[in-house]
Structure 1
Amino acid sequence: MLQRKQTIYLLLALATIVACLCLPIGSFEPKGMGLSNVMTNLWIVRADGVTAFDPWVLFAILIVCCPTVLFTIFDYRNRRRQARFCIFVMLLLIGWCVLYAAFSQLLFKDMIFHVGFASAFPLVSLILLWLARRAVLADEALVRAADRIR
């Protein structure tokens, strides 16, 4: 059923992933004087206005996560597969965090990196997906216990 608590967790996880896609996730500031470069999931807008698509992999990971979470929401009849898809999206988000850390350290070595507020959204989604998986497994245990009683 769609009115379970894991559906709420999954919808909140989807909302935070979409918000992370839309907002800037960091900025690079020169050590001396100068304008900063803004980093989003898809591109980096440099101070001179040039757009570089260096972090496109971050965008691709989050784009794969969105339909997967949607499928997980509507796959409420198969709880085992729903739990497996939660783990799959969690692994994708962990990969996003690792790549984000790598991009923040390797792209502009001579600049200071400032973490954006939206970069915490995948971690929030990770926690929400963990809670959803726990609720799915609790429902599965409840159904199995009810089957044993019959």
Structure 2
Amino acid sequence: MIQRKQTIFLFLALLTIITCLSLPIGGLTPLGMGTEKMLMNLWISDANGNKDFNVWALFAILLVTCPINLFAIFDYHNRKRQARLCAFSMLMIIGWYVVYGMFSQILMDGFDFHIKFAAGLPLVALILLWLARHFILADEAMVRAADRIR
């Protein structure tokens, strides 16, 4: 049944990930002379419009979680697989934060790094995925209890 609570949580997690993909996740202000750079999930852009695609891994990790979450939304017949997909998406988001931390440390050489609002959106998605997984497992326990009574 697609109207369950976990479906709403999965859909909201998908929306927050898509929003994070399109917004800047960091700012780089040079310690000396120069212009500020903007860190996106796919590139680093400067004031001249030049793009450096060294941070593509951030984009790839979040891009992989989108179809997984979309598949989990429509995989409501198999609750065990749906719970595993939620857990895998949660691991991918934790991996995104590890890669984000590594890139922020690498990019801080000669720059002052500022975290933007969109960098917190995967954390919101992580919480929503945890809630979805919790309700999926609760549904599975309820179905097992009903099967046991018969």
The TM-score by the shorter chain falls in which range?
Answer: over 0.9
Identical positions, percent: 61
Cα distance in 1 for partners of 2:49, 2:149 equals 67
Query: 3-state DSSP class of the match of 1:3?
Result: coil
Aligned-residue Cα RMSD (Å) equals: 1.0
Larger deviation: 48-57 or 7-16? 48-57
Q: How does 1:128-139 map to 2 (within 5 A)?
A: 128-139=128-139
Q: How far does the alpha carbon of each residue in 1:121-147 deviate from its partner, in whole angstroms, 9 at most, with x for none?
A: 111100100000000000000000000
Shift of 1:114: 0.4
Give the corresponding residue for 1:75: 75
- Output the TM-score relative to the length of structure 1: 0.97
Amino acid at match of 1:106: I
Match of 1:49 in 2: 49
Moved beyond 3 Å, runs of 4+: none
Tell whether 2:91 aligns with 1:91.
yes
8 Å Cα contact 2:107/2:113 also seen in 1: no
Query: What is residue 59 of structure 2 aligned with on the other side?
Result: 59
Which residue pairs with 1:115 in the alignment? 115
Structure 1: tracts of 5 or more residues without a match: none
The DSSP-based 3-state class of the residue aligned with 1:38 is: strand
Establish whether residue 16 from structure 1 lines up as the match of residue 52 from structure 2.
no
CA distance in 1: counterparts of 2:50 and 2:92, whole angstroms: 29
- Alignment TM-score, normalising by the size of structure 2: 0.97
Instruction: Please give the secondary structure, in 1, of the residue aligned with 2:135.
Output: helix
* Aligned-residue offset at 1:100: 0.5
* Alpha-carbon distance in 1 for matches of 2:112, 2:45: 15
Distance 1:26 1:124 in 2: 17
Any idea what the Cα deviations from partners look like across 1:74-112, whole Å, max 9, x if unmatched?
000000000000010001000000000111110241110
For each residue in 1:28-87, what CA deviation from the matched residue of structure 2 results, as whole angstroms up to 9, or x when unmatched?
001234321001000000244321001100101111110000000000000000000001
